[in-house]
Amino acid sequence: MLGTIVNTIAVIIGAFLGLLLKKGLPERLQDSIMKGLGLCVLFIGISGALEGQNTLIAILSIAIGTVIGEAIDIDRRLNHLGQLLESRFSKAGSEQTVARAFVTSSLLFCVGAMTIVGSLQSGLTGDHEMIYTKSLLDGISSIIFASSLGYGVLFSAVAVFVYQGAIVLLAQWVAPLLSESVIAEMTCTGSLLIIALGFNMLGLTKIKVANYLPALFIPIILCLFF
């Protein structure tokens, strides 16, 4: 778990630094940074989506995952959580900002081959090199995101710890399920959600990305049949 702990701490430190930086940024500059981040997020999403090898799996994953997510209404639950966090930790901002910051940063930190492969290496061999590299990238990213999205980015550290930690602890059991093709399709599906986040950050759409989150794990099942 050492690599996961380091990654979690890197996100927390980066988020705190970003919050300190945010206080000195005028609102106009914050808006410009947000738009620039939106473009970067689109690039990340498009790059990851191209790793997919089977378009049908991506389509079915999004469709099935959306049905599950809408039935649970994850977006509403996250906004409710954001409201609780907002009332607990601050009187400024809005619960939607907290939820958006949490979902956006959590997806960026948790989706991708580096997360899965690095966690598997940590759990199976004790090699944390890839996770350490990811920690540096996540730390820098959290500074930038927290400076524009706010303190909701801090809570993504919990997602990193739980998600990566689960893979590390269950590495011996989940490794057979996470073949190269499964990882590629999970990355592709998750990257489509990141593209949606990018559009939201640019103010072009108001997609409830949280309700699509179950789609991330559907490729694990579909790859058994395709």
Q: Is pLDDT above 60 for 198?
A: yes
Higher pLDDT residue, 87 or 69? 69
pLDDT higher than threshold 60 for residue 56:
yes
Q: What mean pLDDT is reported for the chain?
A: 86
pLDDT higher than 90, residue 222: yes
SS3 149: helix
In this structure, are residues 108 and 139 in contact, taking their beta carbons and an 8 Å threshold?
A: no
Looking at the predicted structure, is the pLDDT value of residue 96 above 80?
no
What the block records as the tokens of 85 is: 């966090």
- pLDDT of 151 > 80? The answer is yes
Distance CA 90, CA 99 (A): 14
Q: HSE-up of 129 (CA within 13 Å, CB side)? A: 2
Q: What secondary structure does DSSP assign to 155-198, as a single string? A: GHHHHHHHHHHHHHHTHHHHTTT--HHHHHHHHHHHHHHHHHHH
Residue 110 identity:
C
Question: For the residues 77-82, what does the mean pLDDT come to?
Answer: 78
More confident site: 33 or 132:
132
Q: What is the pLDDT at residue 132?
A: 93
Q: Write down the pLDDT at residue 171.
A: 87
Would you place residue 90 in the very low, low, confident or very high pLDDT band (cuts 50, 70, 90)?
Answer: low
The CA distance from 102 to 94, in Å, is 13
Query: Within a 10 A sphere around the Cβ of 63, how many other Cβ atoms?
Result: 11
C-beta separation of 189 from 58 below 8 A: yes
CB 212 within 8 A of CB 193: yes
